[in-house]
Amino acid sequence: MRLLRHVLLLLFAACTSIAISDNLTSEVTWDSYSLIVNGERVFIFSGEFHYARLPNPELWRDVLEKYKANGLNAVSIYFFWSLHSPRRGVCDFETPARDVQHLLDIAKVVGLYVIARPGPYCNAETNGGGLALWGSDGSLGKLRTSDETYHQAWLPWITEIDTILAKNQITEGGNVILIQIENELQETTHSATNTLVLYMEQLENATRDAGMVIPTTHNEKGERSESWSTDYENVGGAVNVYGLDSYPGGLSCTNINTGFEVVRNYYQWFQNYSDTQPEYLPEFEGEYPGYFTPWGGSFYDQCLEEHDPAFADVYLKNNIGQHVTLMSLYMAFGGTNWGNLAAPVVYTSYDYSAPLRETREVENKFKQTKLIGLFTRVSEDLLEAQMESNGTGNAVSSSGVYSWVLRNINNAAGFYTLQQSDTASRAVVTFSTTLQTSAGTVVLHNVQLNGRQSKIITTDYHLGNLTLLYCSADILTYGTFDIPILVLYLDVGQIGEFAFKSAPGNMFFEPYGSANVTALSGSTNGTTSYGSTSYTKYTYTQTTGSTVLHFPNGLLVYLLDLETAWSFFAPATTANPRITPSGQVFALGPYNVRNVSVSGDHVSLIGDNANTTNLEVYAGSEANVIIWNGVQLATKRTAYGSLTATAPGASDRTIDLPTLSWVVADSLPEAKRNYDDSKWTVCNKTSSLSPTTPLSLPILFSSDYGYYPGVKIYRGYFDGTSATSANVTAQGGLAAGFNAYLNGKYVGGNTGNATLGNAWALLNFAGATQYNKSNVLTVVTDYTGHDETSTGPDGVENARGLLGAVLYSGNSTLSNFTQWKIQGNAGGPANIDPVRGSLNEDGIHSTRLGWHLPGFDTTSWPAGSPYDGLNQSGINWYITRFNLSIDADLDVPLGIELDAPSGSEASVQLYVNGYQYGKFIPQIGPQTRFPFPPGVINNNGENTISLSVWAQTDAGAKLTNATLFAYNQYQTGFNFNQDWSNLQPGWASDRLQYV
């Protein structure tokens, strides 16, 4: 009777479930269970992608195809205002790396929904939090408030980007289904007149005025406040679908035994604050998929714990158990903070320990994610399920196990998510589970969790015309071809058991593989009004590899061990992000399968393979021939109807990388007293809009003079010979130092600190020659980005460059400098290299004159190696040119490894074909390996790499390593061998004006 009462309650819930809309469109609606797109429920499984961190737009397809291949059906995208707007009144959406329409087109072709996040504030560990750097002089007004100055600053950006997005909404034939308003803005005061409420309403009005009709959303900054949900304290500014950011794991790079502390109150949180909406985690990170690491921290390759695929298994299934049906991984691919894109809290790499590495390589935890993504995309029963029970010992015989039980409101299908009560435990626990099925109660014995493992046991699970009464193995996916195919997975040595909901019949099946499967009669305990029900149960112990069961009705059941399951793919035969069980092909064996097409008896797969592997494909009985990356393979048919062949790899292919030979030139002529700075910008302001208080006058903040990113150089003049020292304070961000030279002589500086954003030094003039007139103090200030911004006048508006400089004679303060001049990136906000963009350059002499660009003439330069370096403080510029000839069918992620002697104090920048693709600070670290993608590097043709080596003390500086290397190599069907010349504009003589 208990089960009958529960079924009646579920039926009542089904009758009362009504879809909700924003009253502007019916194409995207929702209720408390899920999002409903074009009238169909869908589990949204998304990954964050920052196109800004990958400047080759053709590789956006590479990343998004790997998202799709590994189980994701959506992509969440930040659009950084800072990337597109070099100066007030200008937004660039046309140059290749900023062509967002191209990105949206790719997402549609690949078959991914899009969650758009245009800011204006994004955070994302990006320079200024994504706010336009031209506003870093304080002219943006009161940031992230309803202040009208700020309103008028961001309004053109939101209008322009949302107008593009509006044309790509699902209502217009595109794939954009949600738009986020602002980012992690906390509503701490629930009042209609609160400035944050008014700000959110300004943004929503601008979004709707630009033509956006799809539902709005927002992401709550952890469980810290209750913001912007229509279901809670809605005094204005609330969005349609509430989202909760979650960062559940603590950061640990070197200790694999820490972490794994899941959050178990998501369900209750959403019930409290957004009970009429689906549960949405717009940024799910923490230990999975990773975390950013700071200057002076650990490098991502050291983060062993964060690469563990068990994180995906435990954390993602925990979310499913709590009724989450919208989820986005932050980051699914991190990319690179090239061209001064980083905020000071991160260094060049934004790998993030993401499941798709910075090198575009698939981590095992992405393969584990794929198992969950393929399950959720075909499990329609999951999308109208509600919480039945949860807790320690719930539905299980052990208090060491925690379970969540969801039950479908229409057909009573059940989903039992099991995990250890202490999810950090590495113990192996075996227990019994009590399942409520439509045929009565079933008790499963010998269920096992192998340490950090979760399981989703199913009951009354529908697959095509069949129903599983129960299944103790995890369902990977199922497909409805000419026959139904079910795919299950377990750890090796674990016991699996399943039964179908049908009258006892022929137990016969034909096994192919090593697993020993037995068929026995079973019965429920008679808790239904129909009494005990008999069934046939199939029990097995999982062995290594694949075992296939062929049943008389044509059903195939694949029994895979976990690592074999990682190489299982279900590429879609349609570009519709909502993939049905009949709209896919199954493939087992290779490293990656991107796309599939079926024509006649040919099934064509496009993919990637590091090693030669077996390839098994099921595409229906008519398919006879496998084509892999355009090459027909020798194909055989198995006894149970699949096709097999051998897919080639690249492990036996030779990659020739050159030993680099360098030429050198001095890159700090500005230190000399007689350097001609007549074209430099004079610092003549006595006040600033910046919230930073100047330490001397005139104002020396670089943004006040139109220089935003990168290293800046100052020249300060004074007369007389009585000065003995100067107190100089610079602010370039965490880890950024400065150096000073009096009339060409190094007089001191600060080599930076990983935890301090400013640096100061008392400069000793004792060793420098002084003159009665026109002494020149040259100061070079380093830069690691503008600060991110929280509510209020800080963040991006915190000054960069010099905060002040004061002369002393002994203990007495002298009259101030007679004049200061500043030089930053060539052209300042003019954006003279629009392809690479306004953030890419800095004020170093060589960069201003374009020495980093392909085609710059170095024929007169002497040979010189960064291994020799400098024997005193200064900046040397090293250039190497070389040709690559990588086979067209190979993907070879390349990088350069830099190292310096212990105790070195330097700041080194790496330019690859004009792109600033690395910043190496050896005394702070941690990064020494710098990858760069095709398009930045030419796989075939000439390449130019430049290194600026800045010795920050008079001890000098040199490198002990500057070696080109390959991370790996893959045989591929993706075209990495293209002409990238449009991404690499070369040197032109107009650069000579920026001396």
In tens, the pLDDT along 154-211 reads 999 999 999 999 999 999 999 999 999 999 999 989 999 999 999 999 999 999 999 9
Q: Nearest CA to 321 among 230, 400, 253, 418?
A: 418
Burial state string for 311-343 with b = 16 or more CB within 10 A and e = fewer than 16 = bbbbbbbbbbbbbbbbbbbbbbbbbbbbbbbbb
pLDDT over threshold 70, residue 726: yes
Query: Cα separation of 519 and 500, whole Å?
Result: 12
285 is catalytic: no
pLDDT in tens, 302-361: 887 778 899 999 999 999 999 999 999 999 999 999 999 999 999 999 999 999 999 999
Per-residue pLDDT tens over the stretch 786-797: 999 875 557 999
* Predicted local confidence at residue 184, as pLDDT: 94
Give the model confidence (pLDDT) of 813-858 as tens digits.
998 899 999 999 999 999 999 999 999 999 999 999 999 999 999 9
Of 460 and 258, the one with more pLDDT: 460
- pLDDT for 415-473, tens place per residue? 999 999 999 899 999 999 999 999 999 999 999 999 999 999 999 999 988 999 999 99
d(CA 982, CA 966): 25
Report which secondary-structure segment, H or E, holds 896. strand 894-899
Share of the chain above pLDDT 70, in %: 96
pLDDT band at 10 (very low <50, low <70, confident <90, very high): very low
What is the H or E stretch that residue 466 is in? Answer: strand 466-471
Please report the pLDDT score of residue 256 as a whole number.
Answer: 74
Q: Where are the beta strands (DSSP E) in 22-164?
A: 28-30, 35-37, 40-42, 44-49, 74-78, 113-117
For the stretch 61-66, contacts whose Cβ atoms lie closer than 8 Å and that sit 24 or more positions apart, written own/partner, are 61/106, 61/109, 61/110, 61/974, 62/360, 62/974, 63/333, 63/356, 63/360, 64/106, 64/107, 64/110, 64/112, 65/110, 65/594, 65/595, 65/974, 66/333, 66/356, 66/360, 66/362, 66/366, 66/592, 66/594
Note the pLDDT tens digit of each residue in 478-532: 999 999 999 999 999 999 999 999 754 557 899 999 999 999 988 887 554 445 7
**Region 702-726 average pLDDT:** 98
Confidence of residue 8 (pLDDT cuts 50, 70, 90): very low
Question: Can you give the pLDDT at residue 26?
Answer: 97
Q: At a CB cut-off of 8 Å and minimum separation 6, what does 438 contact? A: 412, 459, 460, 469, 501, 528
Q: Mean pLDDT, to the nearest integer, of 538-542? A: 97
Q: What angle do CA 825, 828, 830 make, to 5 degrees?
A: 125
- Encoding tokens for residue 626? 């496998």
Q: Which of 182, 226, 279, 283 is catalytic?
A: 283
pLDDT, average across residues 645-662 = 97
Total residue length of the chain: 995
* pLDDT at residue 13, as a whole number: 42
The pLDDT tens digits of the residues spanning 675-702 come to 999 999 999 999 999 999 999 999 999 9
State how far Cα 727 lies from the chain centre.
42
Ramachandran category for residue 438: left, alpha or beta (phi over 0 → left; psi -120 to 50 → alpha): alpha
> Tell me, what's the pLDDT at 305?
72
- Residue 800 Cα distances to 84, 133, 181, 453, 677, angstroms: 21, 11, 29, 48, 21
Q: Which of 48, 182, 184, 287 is catalytic?
A: 184
List the one residue out of 290, 525, 265 whose CA is nearest residue 402: 265
pLDDT digits (tens, 9 = 90+) for 548-594: 999 988 899 999 999 999 999 999 999 999 999 999 999 999 999 99
3-state SS, residue 382: helix
Rounded (5°) CA angle 354-358-361:
80
Q: Tell me the average pLDDT of the chain.
A: 94
Distance from C-alpha of 750 to C-alpha of 62, rounded to nearest angstrom: 42
Q: What is the pLDDT of residue 534?
A: 86
Q: With cut-offs at 50, 70 and 90, classify the pLDDT of residue 287.
A: low
What CA–CA distance (Å, rounded) separates 270 from 256? Answer: 31
Q: Is 283 a catalytic residue?
A: yes
pLDDT digits (tens, 9 = 90+) for 57-83: 999 999 999 999 999 999 999 999 999
By the 10 Å C-beta count (0-12 exposed, 13-18 middle, 19+ buried), 115 is classed as: buried
CB neighbour list of residue 38: distance below 8 Å, 6 or more residues apart? 27, 170, 578
**pLDDT tens, residue by residue, 905-945:** 999 999 999 999 999 999 999 999 999 999 999 999 999 99
- Average pLDDT of the segment spanning 534-545: 95
- pLDDT mean over 792-806: 90
Residue type, 588: L
Do the beta carbons of residue 560 and residue 543 sit within 8 Å? no
Contact 452, 425 (CB under 8 A): yes
Say which residue the tokens 């959050």 belong to.
263
Considering only CA atoms, which of 92, 174, 81 is closest in space to residue 127?
A: 81
pLDDT(16) > 60: no
